[in-house]
Structure 1
Amino acid sequence: MEINKILLVSALAAGSVTAHAEVRIGVVTSSTGPVAMVGIPQKNTVALLPKSIGGEKVTYISLDDASDPTASVKAINKLISESNVDAIIGPSGSPNASAVIGIIAKAQVPLLAPVGTSTVVLPMNPQKKWVFKTTQNDDLIAQALVEDMVKRKIKTLGFIGTADPYGENWSKVVANLAASKGIKITQKESFQRQDTSLTGQALKLIAGKPQAILIAAPGSAAVTPQVALYDRGYRGQIYQTHGAALDQFLKLGGKKVDNTILAASLMLVINEIDNKHPSKAVALKYMNNYKKMYGEYPATFGANVYDAGLLLEKAIPAALKQAKPGSVQFRQALRTALEQTKELAGTQGVYNMTPMDHSGFDKRGRVMVTVKNGQWKLLK
């Protein structure tokens, strides 16, 4: 069955489907399942994406993969084979996005992945050239965290991350950066996102007596190990990745996540950001429009989908000059146009894409944040 689907996708890539009169964008989010805290604001954000670009109507076809990579594969195949989409935004999870790279490459459909792990775009290869990432790469965030550790004279660090591409890549990135700064990793642990008890991992980490511990996990999964460490008496400095950048982290963790340090999007502390920052106005527009529609501000993960819309809004007019939507030539032109994005201010930073950099963020795409009395605060 899967072989037949892949063959059908290949046929589409060869141009067997005629062009259509509108631009069709597929969207795959995890609006149910373990990654729902990430996926719900992403699904909701689709309603805020542009309805017309370059004089052409834009139709969005949104599917839920229930946080399951196998379902992501099915959804992507469906969007390509049945809807003949020109680009796809999603999926929400790093394992999910990693699972579909081969499919979108064969079909030659640009994928704008709103996921954490940089392995979907690095190292660059013929398949990954069809993927564009709308979040900061791990090394950009990790550099800021390690710089803070150096300032605090931290020499020993424990690490715990999810047993998937997100946590695994963070483990590699942090190990290299820490070693370059003379910081020793005392213990490495991993866990499944759905795990509810991490007593064993917490005790092993604490036994190493690290001055600080870095947790690499997305969404609600970032809370579980930190609570386990706190409940077993650990009071060293806790660092988190941008995967923890959502208000539910504060609600679920309560006082046990106070003093956490992370590098993340300026959206968490938007009122403390200088008005001159190129992303502030863009972020405020998105946040206010989202609140007007849904009655609450979005998690930063929703912004990753909004930025995908901004990237497409910039690139589609250039692609329309080359070919009609629905054709492989249009998708190829769209991929090229996305790769040529320069100085595009998004909600979380400024995008400058190149053939080797399909994330495009620089230091304008991160701020240092801490938790004080249950609130996000700019770390000063």
Structure 2
Amino acid sequence: MRTGILLATLTTALFTLPLPSLAQVKIGVVTSATGPTALVGIPQKNTVPLLPTRAGGLTIDYISLDDASDPTQTVTAFKKLISEDHVDAIIGPTGSPNAMSVLQFAAESGTPMLAPVGAASIVLPMTDQKKWAFKTTQNTDIIAQALVRDMVKRGIHTVGFIGFSDAYGDDWYQVFSKLAQENGLKLTVAERYQRTDSSVTGQALKLLAAKPDAILIAGTGGAAALPQSTLAQQGYKGQFYQTHGAALPAFLKLGGKATEGTILAASLMLVLPEIADSNPSKPIAQDYIQRYEARYQERPATFGANVYDAGLLLQHAIPAAAKAAQPGTAAFRKALRDALEQTHELVATQGVYNMSPTDHSGFDQRGRELITVKNGAWTLLR
């Protein structure tokens, strides 16, 4: 009798003991889901629920914040995630100026930052501060090389430039002007504008007066359409080129007929049905698109895929970091940074990543396609 009572007591005790929980990795996410950059930030924020929630034997928890497209709020969000939430890494922020504003805080705290932004200056040239930053979009030079090669092929001799008056525009001007000179292209005029400008008539008149064979516009989303529409309305008949920042439906919608024939180099996701099934990124991109569409009833922008790829990079790196230290510690964050640097042939939605101590973007030519606008839609340039 006593034995039965003892067994029953032990059994009850075993079932009431708390079960051991899986170790948790905390990842902060900062996006511009509101404000001027929201067209880019919304698909990034929407992608967070689709990110991996397990890596090896660890669970991954995401803490998502909106910086309203304001670099000052980006700083506040980063500080909160680092000092209050004690995250192990941060995905974001959305804009290049925002990312530049928080580089020092990622470095000072030793927190890896995976920035889905365009400007290569986030990771280049490599410094002690930038070694904590990684980039999940194609570096400017990879995109610019494809555009310059196409310009030379078409017999273009003179080019005008207009770009954002911020880190994105600065980066594009520096990279493109150097490549243009090396390839015998003359940059006749360079103009700038703000992301929030409603008119660029003055800049457009200067570009028209220079009569370049082609014009390269370095902007993002709908804001990239403003100079092109203005120039087209004023009678410019030359070839328009855009950067991968224009790869949003808003560019096509706001630019309308003025976008027809535009050439850009960007992600395979824009033209996925035309991509060969042998491309290793195609099934991963298809899976991401299908999951996004099932949740939101709309197709994701490539900018959302940049956040998705950040999640894949972290999922790949976390098990190696966990062998060195426990999540939530400075040692784990350093090990995670080191593991990200060792990424080799990781296939994701945008291309294939190969990181190193000097390359924190990792894309090669597999991360771009030459694309044009035909009948109001993206299509492979053939």
TM-score (norm 2): 0.94
Q: Which of these residues, 361, 373, 376, is aligned with residue 374 of structure 1?
A: 376
Q: Distance in 2 between matches of 1:276 and 1:46?
A: 28
Q: Distance in 1 between matches of 2:274 and 2:345?
A: 23
Aligned equivalent of 2:160: 158
Q: Deviations over 1:144-167 (max 9, x none)?
A: 000000000100000000000000
Alignment of 1:342-353 (within 5 A): 342-353=344-355
Q: Distance in 2 between matches of 1:148 and 1:345?
A: 27
Give, as a single letter, the amino acid of the residue that structure 1 aligns with 2:180.
A
Aligned equivalent of 1:4: none
Q: Deviations over 1:112-133 (max 9, x none)?
A: 0000000000000000000010
Alignment of 1:17-36 (within 5 A): 21-36=23-38
Q: Distance in 2 between matches of 1:367 and 1:50?
A: 27
Higher CA-based Rg: 2
Q: Distance in 1 between matches of 2:282 and 2:271?
A: 10
Are 2:269 and 1:287 aligned? no
Give, as a single letter, the amino acid of the residue that structure 1 aligns with 2:238.
G
Aligned equivalent of 2:184: 182
Question: Secondary structure, in 3 states, of the residue corresponding to 1:135?
Answer: coil
Alignment of 1:184-203 (within 5 A): 184-203=186-205
Aligned equivalent of 2:312: 310
Question: Secondary structure, in 3 states, of the residue corresponding to 2:128?
Answer: coil
Aligned equivalent of 1:118: 120
Aligned equivalent of 2:43: 41
Are 2:236 and 1:234 aligned? yes
Question: Secondary structure, in 3 states, of the residue corresponding to 1:109?
Answer: coil
Q: Which of these residues, 210, 231, 244, is aligned with residue 246 of structure 2?
A: 244
Aligned equivalent of 1:132: 134
Aligned equivalent of 2:53: 51
Q: Distance in 1 between matches of 2:233 and 2:253?
A: 17
Shift of 1:22: 1.1
Aligned equivalent of 2:7: none
Q: Distance in 1 between matches of 2:105 and 2:240?
A: 38
Aligned equivalent of 1:86: 88
Aligned Cα root-mean-square deviation (Å) = 0.8
Question: Secondary structure, in 3 states, of the residue corresponding to 1:174?
Answer: helix
Are 2:153 and 1:144 aligned? no
Shift of 1:256: 1.1
Aligned equivalent of 1:332: 334
Q: Distance in 1 between matches of 2:364 and 2:53?
A: 29
Q: Distance in 2 between matches of 1:279 and 1:54?
A: 22
Report if aligned partners of 2:52, 2:60 keep a CA contact under 8 Å in 1: yes
Shift of 1:21: 3.9
Shift of 1:252: 1.2
Q: Distance in 2 between matches of 1:300 and 1:351?
A: 16
Q: Distance in 2 between matches of 1:58 and 1:354?
A: 24
Give, as a single letter, the amino acid of the residue that structure 2 aligns with 1:103.
F
TM-score (norm 1): 0.94
Q: Distance in 1 between matches of 2:193 and 2:329?
A: 43
Shift of 1:170: 0.3
Shift of 1:53: 1.4
Alignment of 1:262-273 (within 5 A): 262-273=264-275
Structure 1: stretches of 5+ with no match in the other structure: 1-19
Q: Distance in 2 between matches of 1:230 and 1:289?
A: 38
Q: Distance in 2 between matches of 1:87 and 1:41?
A: 20
Q: Distance in 2 between matches of 1:299 and 1:50?
A: 19
Question: Secondary structure, in 3 states, of the residue corresponding to 1:32?
Answer: coil
Question: Secondary structure, in 3 states, of the residue corresponding to 2:163?
Answer: strand
Question: Secondary structure, in 3 states, of the residue corresponding to 2:229?
Answer: helix
Q: Distance in 1 between matches of 2:167 and 2:329?
A: 32
Q: Distance in 2 between matches of 1:176 and 1:236?
A: 22
Aligned equivalent of 1:213: 215
Aligned equivalent of 1:8: none
Report if aligned partners of 2:218, 2:245 keep a CA contact under 8 Å in 1: yes
Give, as a single letter, the amino acid of the residue that structure 2 aligns with 1:109.
T
Aligned equivalent of 2:6: none
Aligned equivalent of 1:275: 277
The alignment of Structure 1 onto Structure 2 pairs a total of residues equal to 361
Report if aligned partners of 2:99, 2:117 keep a CA contact under 8 Å in 1: yes
Q: Deviations over 1:203-243 (max 9, x none)?
A: 00010000000000112210111111111111100000000
Shift of 1:248: 1.5
Give, as a single letter, the amino acid of the residue that structure 2 aligns with 1:34.
P
Q: Distance in 1 between matches of 2:280 and 2:297?
A: 26
Question: Secondary structure, in 3 states, of the residue corresponding to 2:90?
Answer: strand
